[in-house]
Amino acid sequence: MIDPTDEQIKADIMDRLLRRRCWGEKYLPIDSLVNWMRKQIRRNGKRVRKLVDELVKQGFLFLHKRNTTASLNPRMKGQIVEYIEKNLVR
């Protein structure tokens, strides 16, 4: 089990949404994001959910359907791509 930094996890969350083209009104359930990442990250989904909330506060993500789904903010496209390239370790 690895323990990536918060910035790496945020970049991975946004990269997963980017690859699925989840911009604006096209969204993905947060539970799906948590399930994909929980095996690789300690503290299961609590840390991922906390980081999703931070991304929402920073303006990178939108929440939909009573805060159960997320999508990328199309107005921040350039900053999102730059953040992913800077912080994601592949």
pLDDT of residue 40: 72
CATH fold of 6-85: Arc Repressor Mutant, subunit A (1.10.10)
State how far the Cα of 42 lies from the Cα of 45, in Å rounded to an integer: 8
Residue 18: its pLDDT value, please?
A: 96
Single pTM value for the model: 0.90
Mean pLDDT, residues 62-90: 93
What are the residue ranges spanned by the domains of the chain?
A: 6-85
How sure is the predictor about 42, in pLDDT bands with cuts at 50, 70 and 90? low
Say if residue 23's pLDDT is above 60. yes
12: Cβ–Cβ under 8 A, 6 or more apart, which residues? 4, 37, 88
Name the pLDDT band for 4 (thresholds 50, 70, 90): confident
